[in-house]
């Protein structure tokens, strides 16, 4: 099991999405506008209790501009142990806790995925620990899938068992109709991870269990679904060079390795893939490339991988993670976990020619540190950081970048 007691650059996947495939494509399209100065605003700085601490997987937004997210720690008031929260920030900027995890011995604890939101405003996610039974999996429970209503009512949809092929779910889950898709670490076969689906009718179904080696290992970072029902994702390790893979699982359950990373084309991919209307996949690696601090790449349907940008570190950022956002004129937006002058990470834009512009370099102070999520709404960028913000707590922020 990965140690999640602290946040690192290798624990921060994220992208936003509505219900279904069309929503995922829509949220990754940012309308282009003439170049303007960027305005960075902290919308909320977490203080630990009762509002939560260390947001990990970014946010989702509803059509009214309300923000929803979760925190790994904090949220404790009465009758809980500070095991994380689901929070809401309304359009006026007011933060409230919808649910604080850990309210019983078998409750879900430590949310470990980006939230998903349906048309009724209910949110869905996964927790790495908690659930029934309350022990096992090297910790308090083996994890859950859960939902929380707009009124703050939590329902544990599935308890991952101590035995079987899947435990310790991680990374963003994907909602398509009434079915959730996700990845889990697992405790068998060297813990190389698995891809699963879940709905109320079929329960949990293992779609593929990774075996390491050329098959790939550690599918930490969630899945992307195309209009034909194919799932796409990355493994952090494994493949022919041991530096990660891009994979596909078709509707029949057949898994195919689409690319093996080998160093100069990137190494150790991190983050949910983005797909365009032509079937091209876009992603980042946290290592490799010409400066060995990561690349942004495109993988075409014919299997050709093109490095779109080599990160160089320093003020331009290093170790990109997470999902990308594309606009309608060829610009791509994302974030790095390090670099930016103070080493606290950046928000960047890369144009169609591969030129990088730093939109914000985090200082590690009140503006936050270690960005770990990015979405777009009405032409602005929104995201979270795992640290920084309140100087006493250093518990992270929710931010906005407008033009």
How far is the C-alpha of 288 from the C-alpha of 267, rounded, in Å? 5
Domain residue limits, the chain: 21-402
Mind spelling out the 3-state secondary structure of 214-265?
HHCECCCCCCEECCCCCEEEEECEECCCCECEEEEECCCCCEEEEEECCECC
Contact 394, 365 (CB under 8 A): no
Residue showing tokens 């033009």: 403
| Among candidate residues 21, 151, 14, 107, the one with its CA nearest the CA of residue 69 | 14
pLDDT in tens, the chain (403 residues): 333 233 233 333 333 332 333 333 334 445 544 445 789 999 999 999 899 999 988 899 999 999 999 999 999 776 666 999 999 999 888 999 999 999 999 999 999 998 999 989 999 999 999 999 998 887 799 999 999 999 999 999 999 998 877 888 988 889 988 899 999 987 754 569 999 999 999 999 999 999 999 999 999 888 999 999 999 999 999 999 999 999 999 999 999 999 999 999 999 999 999 999 999 999 999 999 999 999 999 999 999 999 999 999 998 899 999 999 998 888 999 999 999 989 999 999 999 999 999 999 999 999 999 999 899 999 999 999 999 999 999 999 999 999 7
Could you give the 3-state DSSP secondary structure of residue 335?
A: strand
**Residue 400 CA, distance from chain mean position:** 18
| Among candidate residues 311, 314, 335, 337, the one with its CA nearest the CA of residue 325 | 335
Q: How far is CA 249 from CA 46, 224, 225, 283, 340, in A?
A: 38, 10, 10, 17, 37
Please list, residue by residue across 346-381, b when 16 or more beta carbons sit within 10 angstroms of its beta carbon and e when fewer do: bbbbbeeeeebebebbbbbeebbbbbbbbbbbeebb
Q: How many residues does the chain have?
A: 403
Contact 105, 131 (CB under 8 A): no
How far is the C-alpha of 390 from the C-alpha of 93, rounded, in Å? 16
Q: Which DSSP string corresponds to 167-208?
A: -SEEEEEEEETTEEEEEE--SSGGG--EEEEEETTTEEEEEE
| Res 135: pLDDT | 86
| Res 386: pLDDT | 96
**CATH classification for the domain delimited by 21-402, as one of 3.40.50.1980, 3.40.50.12780, 2.130.10.10, 3.30.365.10:** 2.130.10.10
Contact 298, 309 (CB under 8 A): no
Contact 101, 107 (CB under 8 A): yes
| Among candidate residues 168, 185, 41, 64, the one with its CA nearest the CA of residue 117 | 64
How far is the C-alpha of 149 from the C-alpha of 219, rounded, in Å? 29
């Amino acid at each position: 099991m990965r140690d999640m007691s602290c946040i690192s650059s290798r624990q921060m996947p994220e992208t936003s999405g509505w219900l279904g495939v069309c929503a995922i494509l829509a949220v990754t399209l940012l309308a282009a506008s003439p170049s303007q100065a960027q305005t960075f605003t902290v919308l909320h700085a977490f203080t630990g209790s009762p509002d939560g601490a260390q947001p990990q997987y970014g946010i989702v937004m509803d059509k009214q501009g309300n923000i929803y997210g979760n925190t790994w720690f904090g949220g404790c008031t009465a009758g809980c142990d500070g095991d994380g929260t689901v929070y809401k920030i309304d359009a006026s900027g007011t933060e409230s806790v919808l649910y604080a995890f850990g309210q019983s011995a078998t409750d879900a604890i430590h949310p470990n995925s980006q939230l998903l939101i349906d048309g009724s405003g209910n949110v869905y996610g996964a927790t790495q620990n908690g659930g029934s039974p309350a022990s096992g999996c090297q910790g308090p429970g083996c994890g859950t899938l859960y939902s929380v209503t707009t009124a703050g009512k939590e329902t544990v949809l599935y308890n991952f068992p101590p035995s079987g092929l899947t435990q310790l779910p991680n990374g963003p889950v994907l909602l398509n109709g009434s079915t959730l898709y996700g990845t889990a670490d697992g405790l068998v076969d060297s813990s190389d991870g698995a891809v699963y689906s879940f709905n109320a009718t079929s329960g949990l179904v293992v779609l593929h269990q990774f075996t390491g080696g050329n098959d790939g290992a550690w599918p930490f970072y969630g899945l992307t679904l195309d209009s034909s029902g194919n799932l796409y994702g990355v493994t952090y390790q494994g493949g022919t060079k041991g530096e990660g893979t891009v994979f596909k699982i078709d509707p029949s359950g057949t898994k195919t390795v689409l690319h093996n990373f080998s160093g100069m084309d990137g190494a150790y991919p991190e983050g949910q893939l983005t797909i365009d209307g032509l079937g091209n996949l876009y992603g980042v690696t946290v290592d490799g490339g010409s400066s060995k601090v990561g690349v942004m790449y495109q993988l075409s349907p014919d299997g050709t991988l093109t490095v779109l940008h080599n990160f160089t570190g320093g003020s331009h950022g290093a170790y990109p993670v997470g999902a990308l956002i594309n606009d309608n004129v060829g610009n791509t937006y994302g974030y790095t976990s390090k670099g930016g002058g103070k080493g606290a990470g950046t928000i960047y834009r890369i144009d169609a020619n591969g030129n990088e512009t730093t939109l914000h370099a985090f200082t590690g102070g009140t503006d936050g540190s270690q960005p770990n999520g990015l979405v777009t709404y009405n032409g602005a960028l929104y995201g979270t950081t795992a640290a920084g913000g309140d100087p006493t707590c250093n518990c992270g922020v929710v931010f906005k970048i407008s033009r």
